[in-house]
Amino acid sequence: MKTSLKKLRSFAAHGQERKERSHHHSLVLNEFERATQDMHDMKDCYDRLLSASAATANSIYESLEEMGDCLLEKTALSDDEESGTYMKR
């Protein structure tokens, strides 16, 4: 009878160890999934930031080009005011 109780206790102990290991593995997987999601979120944020900065740089470039054209036009008008000719592009 004592042997049967010892066997039963050892089975119960092994079953508890399996449950603990299984629980530990599921915690590790949950942490891994959270870390993976965080990495994807950071990548998406970085991509949006990069896109916004590229759009800003493009807009600045276009504005500077327009300002340069306007300045050239005004300079050409003031230089050629006496002769009445206009600088052509």
Condensed to tens digits (0 to 9), the pLDDT of residues 30-85 reads: 999 999 999 999 999 999 999 999 999 999 999 999 999 999 988 887 776 655 55
Residue 70, CA distances (Å) to 50, 61, 63, 75 in order: 30, 14, 11, 9
pLDDT value for 13: 64
At 77 the pLDDT is 79
d(CA 60, CA 88): 25
Residues 6+ apart with CB under 8 A from 86: 76, 77, 80
More reliable by pLDDT, 37 or 16: 37
- Per-residue burial over 26-44, b if 16 or more Cβ lie within 10 Å, else e, is eeeeeeeeeeeeeeeeeee
